[in-house]
Structure 1
Amino acid sequence: MEYSGYRWVVLGLAWLLFGTLFLFWYDMGTLAPVLMETYGIDQTTYSLAFTLPWLIAGLLSFPAGMFADRVGVRTAATIGGVIAALGTFVRAYPGVETLLLSQAILGVGLGIVFVNLPKLINAWFPPHQVGLATGIYLTSMMIFLSTGMVIAPYFPSWEYANTLGGGVIFIATLIFAAFVKNAPPGVEIPKAPVIEGAKAALSNRAIWGAALGTFLAMSGMVPWQALFATAAYVELGIPIAVGGAIVSLITNPGWVGSFVFPALSAKTGKVRLYIIVLSILFSALMLAAWFSGDVNAMWVLVGLAGFVAAGVIPHWMAVPAYLPFVDSRMKPEYIGGATGVLNTFLCLGGFLSTPFIIAPIAASSGFTTAFTVAAIFFAAQGIFAVLIPEPPK
């Protein structure tokens, strides 16, 4: 297979499109108290609205992965980007029902776009660069998500932010559609029948291990992103803008970790060990930051936590892309379906934990107990690392 130098352009445009979906979604994490007052909703309802795109994306991830296998990455991602832009535009209109509807529409777009990366990576990158390319791609979520949380308090209005956001996503989608190709010249990725791809993905223990691992990762990370700024304001008196900037460090330094740790594991192997150690370390650092109650300590500890956490998700997300090179039962044409399974669990973890477990615990027992449970979730993902194989050298 020929790997064209154009692969970096393809990866860069996918990076841009994916990141814009998070830029004007996660600003909700910083604006929680304002939005709860504006819409007249409580913490649980706010958490439901905030995480709703994860639910919709999770339900669509598997069929969207198979859809991408059938029509190609470029077409599928373009459709998803347009839908996400529409959802962001709709969020500019007032009303709780409109907020929930817009978040659901955004989730549809996210679900379609999210599953396309492994298909692109497998087509454009050689096996030894799969982990690095996945890490690079995921930095977009971290950088744009963090940026959204930092800049949210400075927009003139909620309506302005979402109108601008819809336009940015739409432009990024047009650029992606204009320049991205499904594969290098002369490379034909065979299309698998839906049932065949589904069976292959659902019967593979490595896919299940990665899926359950990402479920726990998101179950443990999203509550911090959704609730930390509010918790810091209510219990510690830290201004919302400062709390939002601090919690953005969960993902802001992550782009560095997404490069560093996949690069290290590519040279040293031991992907499973990286996942286990980094998962535990993130939870310990976040709890230390919260228990410290000190703003200066939080800047340092949360920043370190974000750096190490970024080394976990890229390893999970790379599994479907490199699995065909180490497991003869997984063919390249099954990657879309395999990624659909993985993303379903990842997105469901992002949705279920915050409104149905962590927010109710915070309401009944306080944020300290709630964050402790979230930390346990994130650390527990390492249990499933034993189910995945090491990538090819």
Structure 2
Amino acid sequence: MAHVNQSEGGVRYRWVVLLVAFLVHMTSVTLVWQALSPLKKQMAVDLGVPWQDIAVVYAAISFGLVFTQLPGGALGDKYSVRYAVGLGAVLTGVATAVRFAFPTLTGQIAVSLLATVGIGIVNPNLIKVVTEWFPSSQLGLGQGVLMTGNTLGIGLALSLSAGFLLTTIGSWQNVFALYGGITAVVGIFWLLFVRSPRKDERPTNVETGLPFTSSEGVPFRDSLPAVLRSPSTPWAISFAALAYWSVFGSLAVLPEYADAHAFAVPEYVLGVSPFAGTAGALLLPLLSDRYTRRLGLNLGIVGLAAGIILTGVAPSFPVFILAMLVSGSSGGGLAAMFYILPGELADIDPNHVGTMSGVLLSLAQLGAVVGSIIGAQALSSYGVEVSVIVVAGPCLLGLLMIPRLHLDGRGEDQPTATAVGTDD
């Protein structure tokens, strides 16, 4: 899917779109979700339950996304992504801000499920937004920058929530009220300043000479069967689910991994892993722009598994930091690579990118749900050594699935001489 020849204004404006998409991704997709992990012990005291039960509140978002991202992505194929993303972000922010009003475990689970309605609309459609604005040669860069919003949101949640913010504003309820308010404001900002590309702002397909289009008004009854018939779809879903098992399973118990070591791990250090993910989210996609998508995927899998295992068995604080750097950068890079897939798989039509994103992310969340719960239970019952194997092992199976993906790209290897213009 190589594209060229965008108008000068479109090239400038696409960076504005990417910046706002970055902010939406940081707040509505990760900040409001990942704060549950470091705050779970404070929540458990107030709710009167064991801390392991709060893992269900965390996992409820993963569970909800199994059902919401597929229709959420289809909404972006049928209606304007401007309103889909903006209203989804506002809904997520409001749902997060009102956690204080539900002082029971059941209530907190219900709020998590409500928030997933907004997250499930936002996440797949941000992928489509970047695909609409960026040519194939820069798609790794665009999706990588988008994913850095995700990793920075996780880093801020882990570093600030149970430390500085909890001390400053007094309670976990106030932390969520703050995060929810910020998320809603960013959603309103999106509604005010972001639009879809005009015809002369769209990248051009070098194979046809026509602007790349991903039309609105595509019926769900057409887009979903087309995606499910594509040969790459089952392999992409399985691969992403195994990777999400490892990524989110490790994040759910990272504070407990830190506490299990003989050496002290300060609270703020927990943000190292996702902050490293910011670098990985940029570097692996850029590497795949320069070489091949398969290289980025393979490096992400191996680094993620190795880093998680080393985090659990680290003999010293410096090794623990190194392990978080490896797992964080690899996990962030791998997650960004999954954002590239819907727009780069040769057997997915551009009009179905939103639906493919929804299908991929929805079903991948099954891995996140199972990984989060089983990782916590394995830690509680058998200790850190068993838990890291249970959490890290499944993603290695993805190495067997990468060759099944049709990653030759739409026009990826076409000579640039056929283009009607040049990339900026």
User: Is the pair's TM-score, using the shorter chain for normalization, greater than 0.5?
Assistant: yes
Q: Report how far residue 365 of structure 1 moved.
A: 1.6
Q: Report how far residue 204 of structure 1 moved.
A: 1.3
- What is the CA RMSD across the aligned residues, in angstroms? 2.0
The answer to whether residue 317 in structure 2 is matched with residue 313 in structure 1 is no
Q: Report how far residue 234 of structure 1 moved.
A: 4.7
> Given that residues 206 and 387 in structure 1 are in contact (C-alpha distance below 8 angstroms), is that contact kept between their aligned partners in structure 2?
yes
Q: Report how far residue 150 of structure 1 moved.
A: 0.3
Aligned to 1:23: 31
- Give the aligned residue type for 1:7: R
Q: Distance in 2 between matches of 1:36 and 1:314?
A: 33
> Given that residues 257 and 310 in structure 1 are in contact (C-alpha distance below 8 angstroms), is that contact kept between their aligned partners in structure 2?
yes
- Give the aligned residue type for 1:255: T
Larger radius of gyration: 2
Aligned to 1:35: 43
Which of the residues 367, 383, 391 maps onto 2:400?
A: 383
The answer to whether residue 50 in structure 2 is matched with residue 46 in structure 1 is no
> Given that residues 90 and 98 in structure 1 are in contact (C-alpha distance below 8 angstroms), is that contact kept between their aligned partners in structure 2?
no
Q: Report how far residue 210 of structure 1 moved.
A: 2.0
- Give the aligned residue type for 2:197: A
Q: Distance in 1 between matches of 2:91 and 2:235?
A: 31
- Give the aligned residue type for 2:286: A
Which of the residues 366, 370, 373 maps onto 1:352?
A: 370
Q: Distance in 2 between matches of 1:64 and 1:106?
A: 13
Q: Partner of 1:181: helix, strand, or coil? A: coil
- Give the aligned residue type for 1:280: V
> Given that residues 65 and 119 in structure 2 are in contact (C-alpha distance below 8 angstroms), is that contact kept between their aligned partners in structure 1?
yes
Aligned to 1:249: 272
Q: Distance in 2 between matches of 1:319 and 1:137?
A: 14
Calculate the TM-score normalised by the size of structure 2. Answer: 0.85
Aligned to 1:78: 86
> Given that residues 275 and 315 in structure 1 are in contact (C-alpha distance below 8 angstroms), is that contact kept between their aligned partners in structure 2?
yes
- Percent identity (aligned): 21
Q: Distance in 2 between matches of 1:247 and 1:380?
A: 27
> Given that residues 53 and 108 in structure 1 are in contact (C-alpha distance below 8 angstroms), is that contact kept between their aligned partners in structure 2?
no
Which of the residues 136, 157, 165 maps onto 1:127?
A: 136
> Aligned runs of 1:124-273 on 2, under 5 Å?
124-152=133-161, 153-155=163-165, 156-186=170-200, 189-190=214-215, 191-234=217-260, 236=262, 238=264, 242=266, 244-269=267-292, 271-273=293-295
> Given that residues 59 and 344 in structure 1 are in contact (C-alpha distance below 8 angstroms), is that contact kept between their aligned partners in structure 2?
yes
Q: Distance in 2 between matches of 1:16 and 1:293?
A: 37
Q: Distance in 1 between matches of 2:88 and 2:321?
A: 36
- Give the aligned residue type for 1:146: G
Q: Report how far residue 185 of structure 1 moved.
A: 4.8
- Give the aligned residue type for 2:223: G
**1:333-362 Cα shifts (integer Å, max 9, x gaps):** 11111111111122222222222x222222
Q: Partner of 1:112: helix, strand, or coil? A: helix
> Given that residues 24 and 161 in structure 1 are in contact (C-alpha distance below 8 angstroms), is that contact kept between their aligned partners in structure 2?
no
- Give the aligned residue type for 1:33: K
Q: Report how far residue 89 of structure 1 moved.
A: 1.3
Q: Distance in 1 between matches of 2:226 and 2:254?
A: 40
The answer to whether residue 379 in structure 2 is matched with residue 362 in structure 1 is yes
Q: Distance in 2 between matches of 1:227 and 1:376?
A: 16
Q: Distance in 2 between matches of 1:256 and 1:62?
A: 29
Aligned to 2:317: 295
